[in-house]
Structure 1
């Protein structure tokens, strides 16, 4: 009698894989993942000039968009999926399948958890790849992106469980509204608890998160979702005590977050605040984070530096970024609104702004009134326009008195212009009688 060969052990593995694949294709899961990806990509594309030049700006905006926009969407999609199974009697059908309740629930929840997370991961990958060609320094905080992915999976899981418990069709949109309001309110509490929200905004490009913040955030959101899942699905009842383990982990992760100082988990990053300078005179220095902008800024300031070079009272160097100017230094104008993808959009306007910073210590006529003070203001305007003319569509036309001073300056020889600029910079502009007339 010939013995029948037993089937190989590995034969069960493809069957399990096929079951998971089938579950992932069911319901609104794939549509939810696509909706999350499209929502994030459209939102990020509309604000690309604000984030595409720095890793910190890209990851910060991704974090806020993932929390405030994709988070409620994941809640609603998961709730609709769970309610749909309850309304269609899928739970009774699944009970006839020889699987444990926890395993059945895990398979049912998989589309609600994994598809929104996959959509967020795809959108984040596209945005970080779109940022990479334009950044000058720093690094992408991929650990924060991963924590956001876990948060979306957790929100999808919680939404699914709410749908199973409350299968009313309007539960999903109502849950999305409640989730959006809750996430928004949690973001602006002003207390350390705001950092437990997966949508809290951070706006300083010169700081980096402490190493443990992203793992703690992932354990916080993931632990809450897993605890709720075990509390719902674990059978027999005594196994529900297992839900206390992820709940305890979530609470333990929240404790150090709640003890954070006012600026949360962010600390100054020495690498991004390190100064990078050109070889000009005066030197132009920016933070290492913005080193890609240094050639454009140097070219924009070159005409002004040519006039200042070697003059008494001229700055030793221009300094930009998080570090304030020291002795003999002048602060650079903020380039945040004028820089896109590592380039200056309007070098002429930037040069004009630099001249205003150069003479920012001029006394205003509000403090020193009278004909002499007005004359100082007119001379200041003429000198500023001579050094860097205001681009069209910016500022106001030069008045007749300032125009006369400007014409007189332009009529001088280069040597006389340099001599006048030296006398003007050496004068105490708070003493009108000391300011020379062109």
Structure 2
């Protein structure tokens, strides 16, 4: 323990860990909206930041690995009766443990903010975080070995740049299963709130990182060209084993779904409003807003009486749920504080849909639908820009046309105007073009 304590004080271990901690926490809190949705969102965001942290750990190990060469004591230490492994064990433990611990502290720093608002803790989080921390320890070990093998001053910065390129380009390489094996940042792109990382991908990464770390240890403690050449064998064997267990299915690799996080949590009373379990913390805020929208739609016959969060996954296009005319699905967004994003738009979005889930296969007339929806809302149509989240531009002529149609509806008797709006909704349901339905 005294030797380990000396290594902690005199090696680059504490400095590297502190640097990784500062970089990780700073990256998290510069963009809190990216991980405010819950524990898995935080986990995937920190996993993405391995693009910075993994090369940093690799470079820190390389810098430490050239210590004996820098001090010119390599030949002196080689004459001691202690084996190279026993001599190097303290620095391996010091570097690997502290850098791995720094990653866990980055997750904890984000968890302090997530814990009070998160409604669901996915069990996969524990394994993913531990393997990611282990990957940083493995990077340190590999860096130590490479730093001892190539003890030049330029080795550490060169490995830092190389590490960034490797982590990034292996994460996006094809086929996907190879990227899942090679890159510690693979699987961090977030597509759905109920996303996870498949356990087989996590297991394959653990095997590959362990093999890389063992290769680094062998490079650090072996002598002679032949012995160092054989140090690559663990990496090759680990790559083979990891490739054998990693899944090949594209949907499983790119954006697997946590079925528990995807389950619906609903209000007890009607009209029923449901969100996924991972977003259950915003149900109380969403419910009255969604009910306001349903109340406006109720002016038309046969409109939906329930609002559900959209749970459709693009990778499951061959297994889509059967449409239910009584249920309207909406996208539920989470703001950077973990609350409901854009609450003022919820009722408007529901009414603008006219109670019909959108489809790209049917002809749609945006001006007609907007005029019909704003007639139900009782106010003049406005551009979707600034009203609908994600809408950044539209043709000005569209809203001008909608306003003209809306004024025509407003001049009609209420029963006649409502009948025309109902005809627009019926056309959408029947996949017919609604153009001209408000002109007569």
TM-score exceeds 0.5:
yes
Number of the residue aligned with 1:287:
276
Number of the residue aligned with 2:166:
182
Write out aligned runs for 1:39-438 (5 A).
39-66=23-50, 68-95=51-78, 97-139=80-122, 141-191=125-175, 192-196=177-181, 197-202=183-188, 203=190, 204-234=192-222, 250-251=238-239, 253-265=241-253, 267-279=256-268, 281-309=270-298, 311-323=300-312, 326-336=323-333, 339-358=335-354, 376=368, 379-380=371-372, 382-383=374-375, 385-386=377-378, 393-394=386-387, 399=400, 402=403, 405=406, 409=410, 423=422, 427-428=426-427, 430=432, 435=437
**Judging changes above 3 Å, is the alpha-carbon distance between structure 1 residues 118 and 85 closer, same or farther for their aligned structure 2 residues?**
farther
Contact 2:54 2:163 in 1 (8 A): yes
Q: Deviations over 1:177-236 (max 9, x none)?
A: 111111111001131110111111342433444444434422321122113313541579
CA RMSD between the two structures? 3.9
**Judging changes above 3 Å, is the alpha-carbon distance between structure 1 residues 253 and 349 closer, same or farther for their aligned structure 2 residues?**
same
State the TM-score, normalized to the length of structure 2. Answer: 0.79
- What SS class does the counterpart of residue 427 from structure 2 fall into? coil
TM superposition shift of 1:295: 1.6
TM superposition shift of 1:300: 1.8
CA–CA distance in 1 between the matches of 2:165 and 2:348? 44
**Judging changes above 3 Å, is the alpha-carbon distance between structure 1 residues 213 and 377 closer, same or farther for their aligned structure 2 residues?**
closer
Indicate which of 15, 19, 28 corresponds to 2:3.
19
More divergent stretch after superposition (109-118 vs 174-183): 109-118
More divergent stretch after superposition (28-37 vs 104-113): 104-113
Number of the residue aligned with 1:32:
16
Q: Deviations over 1:279-330 (max 9, x none)?
A: 4544222222211122222122232222334852201322223245722145
CA–CA distance in 2 between the matches of 1:426 and 1:24? 70
TM superposition shift of 1:25: 1.6
CA–CA distance in 1 between the matches of 2:130 and 2:336? 27
Q: Deviations over 1:84-128 (max 9, x none)?
A: 331112434534554211111222333332222121111112222
**Judging changes above 3 Å, is the alpha-carbon distance between structure 1 residues 321 and 208 closer, same or farther for their aligned structure 2 residues?**
same
CA–CA distance in 2 between the matches of 1:358 and 1:406? 18
State the TM-score, normalized to the length of structure 1. Answer: 0.79
CA–CA distance in 1 between the matches of 2:297 and 2:402? 25
**Judging changes above 3 Å, is the alpha-carbon distance between structure 1 residues 291 and 163 closer, same or farther for their aligned structure 2 residues?**
same
Contact 2:409 2:438 in 1 (8 A): no
Contact 2:420 2:438 in 1 (8 A): no
**Judging changes above 3 Å, is the alpha-carbon distance between structure 1 residues 80 and 380 closer, same or farther for their aligned structure 2 residues?**
same
TM superposition shift of 1:389: 7.1
Unaligned runs of 5+ in 1: 1-16
CA–CA distance in 2 between the matches of 1:384 and 1:249? 66
Unaligned runs of 5+ in 2: 313-320, 388-393
Q: Which has the larger radius of gyration?
A: 1
Contact 1:275 1:287 in 2 (8 A): yes
**Judging changes above 3 Å, is the alpha-carbon distance between structure 1 residues 168 and 384 closer, same or farther for their aligned structure 2 residues?**
farther
**Judging changes above 3 Å, is the alpha-carbon distance between structure 1 residues 432 and 320 closer, same or farther for their aligned structure 2 residues?**
closer
Q: Deviations over 1:399-430 (max 9, x none)?
A: 487268359659988xx699658845665364
**Judging changes above 3 Å, is the alpha-carbon distance between structure 1 residues 252 and 115 closer, same or farther for their aligned structure 2 residues?**
same
CA–CA distance in 2 between the matches of 1:64 and 1:432? 45
User: Size of the alignment, in residue pairs?
Assistant: 413
**Judging changes above 3 Å, is the alpha-carbon distance between structure 1 residues 327 and 168 closer, same or farther for their aligned structure 2 residues?**
same
